[in-house]
Amino acid sequence: MIVRIIGLGAVLWMAGFLIFALFLPQPAPDEVVTDGIVVMTGASGRIERGIKLLEARRARRLLVSGVDRRVKPHEFAKQFKAPVRLMDCCIDLGQESVDTRSNATEASDWVKANRYRSIRLITSDWHMTRGRFDLSDAIDGVTIVPDAVPSEPGLVLLVREYDKYLLRRVAALVGI
């Protein structure tokens, strides 16, 4: 009986992993307009995508969540070629978060402070499922448009991310 339960658990994990890995989220259409854009830092391409969409006026403001506390706005602008006018008016650097869950808390506070009803969430394709789950858990009544930056994640990264996602779901179920 115990062997069957363990076997069933393994089969369910594998089936879930295959779905997770084969159907990674895709980029949202550039034409979509939201009140704000939230970029969760990490892999390349995320910040550049957020700045590009802000320049195209697809949102009013951009939050880059998870920026190292030592990074100054002018350094950030130089590294990511962000126009000074955007840095001055429309780009906020969130420097309080250190992981996906605190990214979601930081973004939630920003969304509430700005009274936004819709946001575009930008993160890597492999990270979008957990990032969106944590953000949805942190805010209510806000439309979240997932905008995944395509990548080529390896098997180890996908397994690790899938396990983190499962653990986060279980933690949410038990109220942690």
pTM (predicted TM-score): 0.92
End-to-end CA distance of the chain: 31
Distance CA 105, CA 142 (A): 14
Within 10 A of 156 (CB to CB), how many other CB atoms are there?
A: 8
pLDDT at 44 (0 to 100): 85
Instruction: Write out residues in the chain with pLDDT < 50, as ranges.
Output: none
Per the prediction, the chain carries an average pLDDT of 94
Q: Do residues 64 and 29 lie in contact, with contact meaning Cβ atoms separated by under 8 Å?
A: no
What tens digit of pLDDT does each residue of 61-94 get?
A: 999 999 999 999 989 999 999 988 899 899 999 9
